[in-house]
Amino acid sequence: FAQPLSASRQFSPSVLQRLISSLAVLEQREGKLNAGSLSAVTAAQKLGGSVHCFVAGANAKPVAEEVAKVGGVEKVVSVENAAYEKGLPENYAPLLVENIQKGGYTHVIAGHTAFGKNLMPRVAALLDSQQVSDITAVENENTFVRPIYAGNAIATVESSDPIKILTIRGTAFPAAAAEGGSAAIEEGADPKAESSVEWVSEELTKSDRPDLASASKVVSGGRGLKSKKEFDRIMLPLADSLGAAVGASRAAVDSGYADNSLQVGQTGKVVAPQLYMAVGISGAIQHLAGMKDSKVIAAINKDPDAPIFQVADVGLVGDLFDKVPELTEKVKSS
């Protein structure tokens, strides 16, 4: 927009809105929609114009029917084929590109999740487009806001690519309302591309606790917990007393106290719960990058100068091995 368009080529805002057409790429597993991926629909709605959704997998139909009810969605493009069930980018990317070209979309949006981070760069490369990753706000159809340097600076970037490929930070866009819509469902194109990659197996961590990425309360433990045994003994009852998800610092994960999937931070998950409690975590910038947007941050640390206290709303200086069991008992009896 540095140069104004000539009078004959100027579009009124309403015409421009009609020219924008977005495709939100939604995640599913075994025929169930990942509700968190509806954040991509919210981001698409912020662009204005029409909003379509895309789902693919072995049992895509029930997911498409669920998505059709999401408010503001005009059309759901669905491809039923077991080859796309696991979202392997080697075959999912050609599938998505074919449907993007068929639909003539101007914007394609997925979550900045393992699925989106795996898939979208390949889609962008196939379309010769420069992906804009991990956006936290939409300024207009060309301009997006994204954190850089582990969240220490915020960049506002403008894309001139005809097809914008975007991944969005889920915590910055609430999931679109799952009700209120009646979108049409259309069978998408299936190129049935040959893939040299085959899905062999997966090992999933099972937990009855809330999902870390979407929980309203998170309690995270750090190196201060000293061992896996102590991490489990101290952190799990605290989490259960609060109905919270469990997170961990990278030092705790690297030391084997907690599973890799629980890591919060620059190279882990980004969370923004109502309550984030950091226990025995110093507050390195790479950890803060994953939790500093939490509504209330509470910290327990024996070092009064620990940097975590600079971002904490509530701080308790003390030995976690005394303070946390005491707190857990108080929460349980309250």
Nearer to ligand FAD, 93 or 251 (CB): 251
Select from 49, 103, 147, 280 the one that contacts ligand FAD (CB under 6 A): 280
Select from 49, 103, 188, 224 the one that contacts ligand FAD (CB under 6 A): 224
Q: Which stretch binds ligand FAD (CB under 6 A): 39-47, 95-103, 227-235, 258-266?
A: 258-266
The verdict on whether residue 266 carries a ligand-binding annotation is: yes
Q: Minimum Å distance from CB 207 to ligand FAD? A: 20
Select from 267, 274, 326, 332 the one that contacts ligand FAD (CB under 6 A): 267
Nearer to ligand FAD, 128 or 305 (CB): 305
If one asks whether residue 77 binds ligand FAD (CB under 6 A), the answer comes out as no
Cα–Cα distances (Å) from 109 to 14, 17, 120, 134, 279, in that order, read 22, 17, 9, 10, 35
Q: Minimum Å distance from CB 77 to ligand FAD? A: 35
The verdict on whether residue 263 carries a ligand-binding annotation is: yes
Q: How many CA atoms lie within 13 A of 36 on its CB side?
A: 18
If one asks whether residue 209 binds ligand FAD (CB under 6 A), the answer comes out as no
How many residues make contact with ligand FAD (CB under 6 A)?
27
Q: Which stretch binds ligand FAD (CB under 6 A): 164-172, 193-201, 231-239, 265-273?
A: 265-273
Q: Which stretch binds ligand FAD (CB under 6 A): 24-32, 62-70, 139-147, 221-229?
A: 221-229
Q: How many C-beta neighbours within 10 Å does residue 29 have?
A: 15
**75-80 and 107-111: which strand pairing?**
unpaired
Select from 24, 63, 251, 258 the one that contacts ligand FAD (CB under 6 A): 251
Nearer to ligand FAD, 213 or 306 (CB): 306
The verdict on whether residue 280 carries a ligand-binding annotation is: yes
Q: Which stretch binds ligand FAD (CB under 6 A): 61-69, 154-162, 229-237, 319-327?
A: 319-327
If one asks whether residue 147 binds ligand FAD (CB under 6 A), the answer comes out as no
- Binding-site residues, in ranges, read 223, 249-250, 263-267, 280-287, 301
* Residue numbers at the binding site for ligand FAD (CB under 6 A): 222-224, 249-252, 263-268, 280-282, 284, 286-287, 290, 301-303, 306, 319-321
